[in-house]
Copies of this chain bind each other. A is one copy, B any other.
Amino acid sequence: MATHKLLLLPGDGIGTEVMAEVKRVVDWLDRRGLASFAIEEDLVGGAAYDSCGQPISEEAMAKAFAADAILLGAVGGPKWANVPYEARPEAGLLRLRKDLQLFANLRPAVCYPALADASSLKRELVEGLDVLIVRELTGGVYFGEPKTITNLLDGQKRAVDTQVYESYEIERIARVAFELARTRRNKVVSTEKHNVMKTGVLWKEVVSTVHGADYADVTLEHQLADSCGMQLVRAPKQFDVIVTDNLFGDILSDVAAMLTGSLGMLPSASLGAVEEISGKRRALYEPVHGAAPDIAGKGLANPIAMVGSLAMALRYSFGQIEAADRVEAAIAAVLAAGFRTNDIYSEGMTRVGTSGMGDALLAEL
């Protein structure tokens, strides 16, 4: 069996707690001979800053380039509110995304039947919900230059951010969205603000062109970002795949995640291009949730999004379909058995903490 190079970057806050549970699952898979890993671990975010003054070290970057897949916990927290902008925890994550060219961020928002009651929305609106947000992750306002703060006269300052998109960046993410839609319900909603932004004009134009040329069999609809946000709350089941830019994707995927009532449940994948010769693609897997400083260190975090991220890595990076199925079945089983961390708790269920949920998962594996 091939040995897979897996890099673990627990990061900050609850990132370390949920990663601890993933390690137990990885150990279990290894012991059972279901998958074989060469595991490296390193720091990212505030933890890396505290250790080396940078939100990710050059060694960690080298390990990231060498890895077959990366699992990342979460970065950030109030402890680092005053570090220089370039060294803030998030810069470590952003560098990984950019330098590894992980342009396609897949964020599923799936409502588990057992959890429909935990949603803010009425049950009938979210039951069976299965939306996939495909977010562009290496461009837009996150990385465009200039990005500056300038001192003006009399204490005034002027801040500038720049959103830049070139056709090829939009085309490649559109292709990912259309390909994925074909494996699902064959519908793509493309979201931008073409009525206000030139990047929105180009976005809409390129998505339409790619659609007309190669994916006319997929249903395509354009929605303005404000109206998409509204539709996500009004009638989320109208969506199959949503493709959007880095910034809108950030906000809309959080709104979509919240609809499912299972924020601590949702994994994500950030993928690079398929390399010509090896057929491989770089990949980083992380929960949609953040470092959650308010509950960090208390053993309360839900590890399922992180464990689900491992399952995605098994499936998409390692081709270990059996192991991926096994892990996902264990997740479904613990939910069916009524185990709930705080974020998904509802009356009558069995309340557990992070390691309690880990125990339950291992028992089901």
B251–A147 contact, CB under 8 A? Answer: no
A253 and B229 alpha carbons, distance in the complex (Å): 9
Residues in B neighbouring A122, C-beta threshold 8 A: 120-122
Q: Does A230 contact B (CB under 8 A)?
A: yes
Map CB proximity to B onto A225-247 as digits: 1 under 8 Å, 0 otherwise. 11101101111000000000001
Q: A197-B141, A201-B149 are in contact. Are A158 and B166 (CB under 8 A)?
A: yes
A195 to B198: give the CA distance in the assembly, Å.
24
Residues of chain A from 266 to 303 with CB closer than 8 A to chain B in the complex: 290
- List CB contacts (< 8 Å) of A6-47 with chain B: none
> Considering residues A156, A193, A196, which has the most beta carbons from chain B within 10 angstroms of its beta carbon?
A196
Q: Pick out which of these stretches binds chain B: A255-263, A308-316, A332-340, A350-358.
A: A255-263
Q: In the complex, what residues of B have CB within 8 A of residue A155's CB?
A: 167
Q: Closest residue to A151 on the B side, CB-wise?
A: B167
Residue in contact with A195 in the complex, picked from B90, B225, B257, CB distance below 8 Å:
B90
A193 to B165, CA, bound (A): 19
Confirm or deny: A73 has a beta carbon within 8 angstroms of a beta carbon on chain B. no
**CA–CA, A79 and B110, complex, Å:** 36
Q: Which residues of A contact B (CB under 8 A)?
A: 76, 85, 88, 90, 94, 120-122, 125, 141-142, 144, 147-149, 152, 155-168, 193, 195-199, 201-203, 225-227, 229-230, 232-235, 247-248, 250-255, 257-259, 263, 290
18 contacts between A and B (CB under 8 A): A120-B121, A120-B122, A121-B233, A141-B163, A141-B197, A142-B196, A152-B166, A156-B168, A157-B166, A159-B164, A159-B166, A159-B198, A161-B163, A161-B199, A196-B250, A227-B290, A248-B251, A251-B251
